[in-house]
Structure 1
Amino acid sequence: GRHNVLNALASIALADDLGVDFNLVARSLASFAGAKRRFEPVYLSSRVRIVDDYGHHPTEIEATLQTAGSL
């Protein structure tokens, strides 16, 4: 979701400041799998998308629904 984008941007900025090669940063971000059961795809087809999300707090559930709504 949005927080992952913000975290990725912060990582890119820090890596740039430290002089890390951008290609390495891009490969690392591309291979990032995220946390288990946090909007984890379970089934994808052209018409249906099923995700597993452990969100159990109202704030987490709201973030999950916002992300799902933006797809």
Structure 2
Amino acid sequence: MAKRRWNGESGTYRFALRIFGPAQLRPHDAVTPVTEADEARETQLHETLERVQRPDGSSYVVTKR
């Protein structure tokens, strides 16, 4: 049997999305200084992920192709 890919349509995912909203990058403020590791992680996320918006206005994050 072929392995099923998860497509984000599970009830748990939809429930969590209503509570937490779409995935976001970690915010930084004056209290938490930005380290080189944080900058590298953020750069990697921006290079590998993109935010997609559905026609209804909701958004989600997917891997860039």
TM over 0.5: no
Q: What range is the shorter-chain TM-score in?
A: 0.3 to 0.5
Q: TM-score, normalised by structure 1?
A: 0.33
More helix by share: 1
